[in-house]
Amino acid sequence: MAEEFHCLPDMAIRALENDPDRLIPAILTLRAFARAKETYDNSKSKRDLPQTRMIEVLQEIEFEAMQELLK
């Protein structure tokens, strides 16, 4: 987390300890999703995508969107 927010580890630990609404993990998840989406959108072939949970989520979303379009 310290690397993600460009701070020292002790500052990151204090921020996590003082995050009752758990906003930091939510931000980290959204940033990971955004990076995965960029990778997904820019891939030349879907077969070349990394096998990560975020990529799986994106594929599920795309599949569900296609199903909705075909209804």
| The model's pTM | 0.76
For position 31, what pLDDT does the model report? 93
Q: What is the mean pLDDT of residues 16-32?
A: 93
Average pLDDT, the chain: 91
Closest CA to 62 of 39, 45, 37: 37
What percentage of the chain exceeds 70 in pLDDT?
A: 100
Measured distance CA(56)–CA(36) in Å, rounded: 10
Measured distance CA(71)–CA(68) in Å, rounded: 5
Is the model's pLDDT at 69 over the cut of 80?
yes
Measured distance CA(9)–CA(30) in Å, rounded: 21
Q: Left if phi > 0, otherwise alpha if psi is -120 to 50, otherwise beta: which for 19?
A: beta
55 touches 36 (CB < 8 A): yes
Q: How many domains does the chain have?
A: 1
Domain that holds residue 26: 2-69
